Amino acid sequence: MNDLNALLGIPLPIIQAPMAGTATPAMAAAVSNAGGLGSISIAAVNAEAGREMIRQLRAATSKPFNINVFCNVPSHANVAVEQRWLQHLAPWFAEFGAQPPAAIQDIYTSLYNDEAQLQVLLEERPAMVSLHLGLPPQERIDALKAAGIVVVASATSLEEGRLVQAAGVHMVVAQGIEAGGHRGIFDPEQIDGCLTTAELVQALVAELEIPVIAAGGIMDGADIAAVLKLGAVAAQLGTAFVLCPESAANASYRAMLCSERAKQTQITRVISGRPARGILNRFMVEVGTAGHPQVPGFGIAYNAGKKLIEAASQAGSAEFAAHWAGTNASKARSLPAAQLLETLYEEYLTVEKTR
């Protein structure tokens, strides 16, 4: 906690995860105002829309906050792969009275090569920028640091953690296999070691000199106490905040998190083209059945995935939606973000007092 406080002046060792498409400026501001670190992601919008989100957040808080971006190497189009994938999806589109798109393209930006996004960050200068899905070219990290921005990056293995430290990043987020949403693995074609949050935190704390933030499956104060005891300086929670009224989660997402279904999550790459954990549904089971064609690259597959999700939704089915969630999703609580933060910290203190 002292390291996080020293770098950003954050009194509580709790970070609300950015969660592209779900975390909002209102949520992040509520968390920051209450003493934690609020976050949003601008990975799913263009540079100017990202700028507007940052300004909305800044207008709602004078406290530090985190802006998240993706850093994956952009996907290369492969028409043959993409057409086979669209043919694979065609029966499900037909079920919902829709046609698959004629072609698909990458719908995501990446700090890896997006100059406009970099300029927005350098001009708006948030207190923190978090990097996910890899690292951008070194000169971009150096530019962020030169602008006085605290830079953190996700790692899913000790090897990735070493790369993060070597790049001069201030802190590393240890993303365990329990985490909801997209795995931060640098190269999704490599074998994933599937380290738990506890295993990864211990490995990174033992070897690295930079502070470690724990992420993955953390839902309450006892979970926070457990990762801090392992040497993490803070805990990052995402799924725990999805039911907050300030989140952008729609009614079906909220209903799913409040149901028994939330107890069963799975990692899949068929929705977006990259491994991501969410509540088990028909998209994962049926589209992802053994023997399916090669999945197009990240962002390209998600272009088709989002269109299928939309077709299903319009037909009244939430069985294809990307309800990203961590392994302990059923423990999510419907509390305002500031109240949830206060509750989490009180739970953490209670655990600490009994030791």
170 backbone dihedrals φ, ψ, rounded to 5°:
-70, -40
pLDDT in tens, 133-168: 999 999 999 999 999 999 999 999 999 999 999 999
Nearest to 256 by CA among 316, 328, 319: 319
pLDDT at 13 over 70: yes
pTM: 0.96
Predicted pLDDT at 264? 97
Domains and CATH numbers, the chain: 1-72+108-248+332-355 (3.20.20.70), 76-107+259-330 (no CATH)
Percentage of the chain surpassing pLDDT 70?
A: 99
For residues 192-200, average pLDDT: 97
Q: Which residues pair with 66 in a beta bridge?
A: 39, 128
Q: What is the mean pLDDT of the chain?
A: 97
pLDDT at 226 over 80: yes
Give SS3 for 346: helix
Contacts for 93 with CB less than 8 Å, ≥ 6 apart: 99, 100, 307, 308, 311
pLDDT in tens, 37-46: 999 999 999 9
pLDDT at 349 over 50: yes
The strand pair at 276-279 and 181-182 is best described as antiparallel
CB atoms within 10 A of CB 351: 18
69 backbone dihedrals φ, ψ, rounded to 5°:
-135, 155
What is the spatial distance between Cα 221 and Cα 344, in angstroms, rounded to a whole number?
5
pLDDT in tens, 263-278: 999 999 999 999 999 9
- At residue 1 the predicted structure's pLDDT band, cuts being 50, 70 and 90, is very low
pLDDT at 4 over 90: no
What is the spatial distance between Cα 317 and Cα 247, in angstroms, rounded to a whole number?
22
For residues 226-231, average pLDDT: 98
For residues 207-212, average pLDDT: 97
pLDDT in tens, 240-254: 999 999 999 999 999
Nearest to 37 by CA among 29, 48, 26: 29
Note every long-range contact of 286-292, with CB atoms under 8 Å and residues 24 or more positions apart, other chains counting. Answer: 286/92, 287/88, 287/89, 287/92, 292/88
Alpha helices in the chain (DSSP H): 2-8, 25-33, 47-60, 79-95, 115-124, 138-146, 158-166, 197-207, 221-229, 251-257, 282, 300-314, 337-353
What is the spatial distance between Cα 331 and Cα 183, in angstroms, rounded to a whole number?
21
Predicted pLDDT at 2? 52
- At residue 3 the predicted structure's pLDDT band, cuts being 50, 70 and 90, is confident
Strand order in the sheet with 181-182: 181-182, 276-279, 265-268
Nearest to 69 by CA among 8, 114, 15, 132: 132
Note every long-range contact of 253-262, with CB atoms under 8 Å and residues 24 or more positions apart, other chains counting. Answer: 253/22, 253/321, 253/323, 254/334, 255/318, 256/318, 256/321, 256/323, 257/323, 257/325, 257/329, 257/330, 257/332, 258/332, 258/334, 260/330, 262/325, 262/329, 262/330, 262/332
